[in-house]
Amino acid sequence: MNPPAPSQVLIALSTAPDEAAATAIARAMVEARVAACVNIVPQLRSIYRWRGRVEEAGEWLLLIKTAADRRTDLQRVLDELHPYEVPELVFIDVVDGLPAYLRWVLDETREGTPGTAA
């Protein structure tokens, strides 16, 4: 079997206001198979412009591993669960990686298939 093309795998970045929101979003994404894995990085500081003012807030970073063809479904899950009016969601193409890991991401985000051990 040929290794998957790296461009088939994406890393999505998002933030959440607290641990509970980050955990709920991450769990829903993995359960819905729109993400193979979500790492939650606690307690970062974000400085941003919102409605004409510079704001600063504590947030939790979500590092989301997904398949390119699940991007729209992942966005739908985030839109349904995220408490922010305008949540962050950006996608980064994976340009290289361990072939077995890239295959695992694709396998775990395939709709309607049972999970496999990582």
| Chain segment 29-64, per-residue pLDDT in tens | 999 999 999 999 999 999 999 999 999 999 999 999
Whether the full predicted model's pTM is greater than 0.95, yes or no, is: no
Q: Domain boundaries in the chain?
A: 6-108
Report helix, strand or coil for 114.
coil
Q: Is 15 within 8 Å of 46 (Cβ atoms)? A: yes
Q: Enumerate residues 6+ apart whose C-beta is below 8 A from 96.
A: 6
CATH topology of domain 6-108: Alpha-Beta Plaits (3.30.70)
**pLDDT, mean of residues 83-110:** 95
Q: Which residue has the tokens 């949540």?
A: 87
Q: What distance in Å separates the CA atoms of residue 115 and residue 93, rounded to the nearest whole number?
A: 24
